[in-house]
Amino acid sequence: MEPTGRNELVDRLSLWRRSEPRLLAGVAGGIADRVGVPAVYVRAAFVTLTTVWGIGILLYLLIWWLTLDHQASPFVRELETGQRVGLAVTFVALLWLMVASGFVPDPFATFVTAAISFGIASVLDRSESGGIARLIMPGETQGVSVFRFIAGVVLLMVGLGLFFGTNRVTSSLGSTFIAVALTAIGLMVAFGPWFVRMRDDLGKERLARARQEERAEMAAHLHDSVLQTLALIQRTDDPRRMSSLARTQERELRTWLFGKAPLEEGELLSTALAAAAARVEDERAAAIDLVTVGDARLDSRSSALVAAATEAMVNAVTHSGSDRVSVYLEVDEGRAEVWITDQGNGFDRARVGRDRKGLAESIERRIARQGGTAAISSRPGEGTEVHLVLPGVESVTK
Amino acid sequence: MIRLYLVDDHRLFLAGVRSELEDRAEIVGTATDVDDAIEGIRETAPHVVLIDVHMPGGGGVAVIRAIAETNPDVRFLALSVSDEAEDVIAMIRSGARGYVTKTIAADELAEAIERVHAGDAVFSPRLAGFVLDAFSGGQAIELDHDLDQLTAREREVLRLIARGFAYKQVASRLNLSVKTVESHVSAVLRKLQLSNRHELARWASDRRIV
């Protein structure tokens, strides 16, 4: 649970983190979309502020905490050039004010960082050029504005010049390191944007391909199952067969659409019982309503329970004269119970021939061998109910 | 005659139910999406609305909530192919008085509609199973509240419904009157709608209705 104070603040600010494209958490991107400037400048501002007692990093973390989850930004504003200039002036004034009030520990480092980071930002900025750039280069419509590019390079040169022009920096760093760092920065500025674009295109392509494959799989499945069944139904005259086909298809499609992934370690009693009920439905053209509460792992003992229940289902659909059988499984504290109920003719146990092995062998003895019990109650005209109990199963909680 | 309104985004199914129920209820209107349904129900003021769970534009839950504000007397019976417990519980918690699956026979459907009209709850075997499942695992901590647990009798009634028995058969097996069975089921419905049990709350919050 998060404190409500934070939630209220988040609601009031309604700032989002940007999901794509982003560098870290998408904080700068979110602010950029909200304010209406390219994200590179916001990042530059964060970097600059980091030189002042690390405010940049703290601010970044604070805003990260106060923003809502990644999301494609709800709206993206575009600022007028005048507003952009105003924003830049405000930022510079703010820095100046902090320097003047003695708040900045190392004004030199701050200004060098500002020059370098904003210089890089304006070189990297690929958004459409604003009014001033158009005044200078009237034909330009997109890409890096020459004005901005020149301004960026000048800033960079001033910043780097200041940085390396002072002995105290150069002497503390090895010249090899500086050379490597400079090469890296140069490569990044030159090829960075191109690399990012390549990566984005690749991602989009991969997504498109995944979607296409999914659609193809869906089409294949529908063809193999649903269309085939519909064709079969059209060629069938027997209404029982028709509804049996429809029911099988419905069950298959439902498993495919809403199906739960099987447990990693072994099968479940409920799924085994569902599969058994499905087989009986298909073979005997009857409807079996299965309801399960709780679940257990399938082992040799609970498999015997499934086998006995299956026999009871087959008996019900074969002899009851009713085409609907209800099966209810309940597992509670290591005890599994299954009821197989039909609303059919019912029978008198005493009048069932001794040669009919179904009831005695398949149901009662099978369950008894596993330490369980089977109770069969039926009266002519009132349907039949088989109640199976198997203690000592391994309950599974979801 | 019960004034019935049908909401389902499958026209074929709508037509099927319509022809099955035409001589047992007065069908005052049908709708295939959420907005039409809200408008139509407000206009025709039916007794009972038979409503699909999944529909474009917010599903049955959106309709139930909108109508509850303006026409609290209208009763809802959810009818769906969905096997997902979340969907079913969400419908019940937003105010539906019952849930039946689309494979229900016409006679049973007509009976369920009458029952909902009379203010009783309608539990299909599947819904009874969901409720038993959601209220099982008695080791939950906050069980001291009445709303968070089922009485032994309610459990018995639900178990018999889950086993496929009609209310009348449940009554005779437990030596109760049908009215008593109905009142047990209504009590369970009330618990289902008001309980704060965390399983239910989680189900509901997954569907963003709390």
CB A270 within 8 A of CB A329: yes
Cα of B101 to nearest chain A Cα, Å: 11
Domain total for chain A? Answer: 2
β-pair type (A335-342, A324-332)? antiparallel
| Cα gap B147→B197, rounded to integer Å | 8
Tokens of residue A122, six digits = 């304006």
Among residues A145, A172, A199, which one ends one of the domains?
A172
| CB-closest option in B81, B128, B163 to A339 | B163
> Would you call B164 and A343 a contact, using CB atoms and an 8 Å cutoff?
yes
Cα–Cα distance list, A168 to A51, A174, B72 (Å):
17, 12, 79
| Cα gap A110→A328, rounded to integer Å | 74
Contacts of B126 in chain A (CB under 8 A): 289, 291
β-strand partners of A68: A16
> Would you call A292 and B136 a contact, using CB atoms and an 8 Å cutoff?
no
In a domain, A203, yes or no: no
In a domain, A343, yes or no: yes
- What tens digit of pLDDT does each residue of B11-38 get? 888 888 888 888 889 999 999 989 999 9
The enclosing domain of A387 has a CATH number of 3.30.565.10
Nearest CA in chain A to B81: A254
- The DSSP code sequence of B11-74 is HHHHHHHHHHHTTTSEEEEEESSHHHHHHHHHHH--SEEEEES--TTTHHHHHHHHHHHH-TT-
| Cα gap A91→A98, rounded to integer Å | 11
In a domain, A119, yes or no: yes
Cα of A343 to nearest chain B Cα, Å: 9
Among residues A122, A155, A172, which one ends one of the domains?
A172
> Would you call B129 and A291 a contact, using CB atoms and an 8 Å cutoff?
yes
> Would you call B125 and A289 a contact, using CB atoms and an 8 Å cutoff?
yes
Q: Which domain holds residue A373?
A: 266-396
CB B119 within 8 A of CB B184: no
| Cα gap A272→A305, rounded to integer Å | 10
CB A350 within 8 A of CB A316: no
Cα–Cα distance list, A166 to A169, A172, A198 (Å):
6, 11, 39
> Would you call A332 and B136 a contact, using CB atoms and an 8 Å cutoff?
yes
Same domain as A9, residue A144: yes
Q: Is the peptide bond before A21 cis (omega within 30 degrees of 0)?
A: yes
Query: String of b and e for A53-62 (b: at least 16 CB within 10 Å)?
Result: eebbeeebee
Residue B128 exposed, middle or buried by CB count within 10 Å (0-12, 13-18, 19+): buried
Cα of B14 to nearest chain A Cα, Å: 18
β-pair type (A373-378, A384-391)? antiparallel
Among residues A172, A201, A222, which one ends one of the domains?
A172
In a domain, A233, yes or no: no
- The phi, psi pair for A272, rounded to 5°, reads -65, -40
Predicted pLDDT at A132 = 46
Superfamily of domain B3-206: Response regulator (3.40.50.2300)
- pLDDT tens for chain A, 398 residues long, are 445 566 666 666 667 777 777 777 788 888 887 777 888 888 888 888 888 888 888 888 888 887 776 665 555 666 777 777 788 888 888 888 888 888 877 777 788 888 888 877 777 776 655 444 444 444 444 445 666 667 777 777 777 777 776 655 555 555 566 666 766 776 676 666 667 766 677 777 777 877 877 777 777 767 667 777 787 777 777 777 787 778 777 777 777 776 554 444 467 888 889 888 888 887 777 888 889 888 888 888 888 899 899 888 988 888 888 878 999 999 988 899 999 998 888 777 666 655 555 666 678 888 888 889 998 888 787 888 899 999 988 887 65
| Cα gap A139→A144, rounded to integer Å | 13
Q: HEC states along B125-147? A: HHHHHHHHHHCCCCCCCCCCCHH
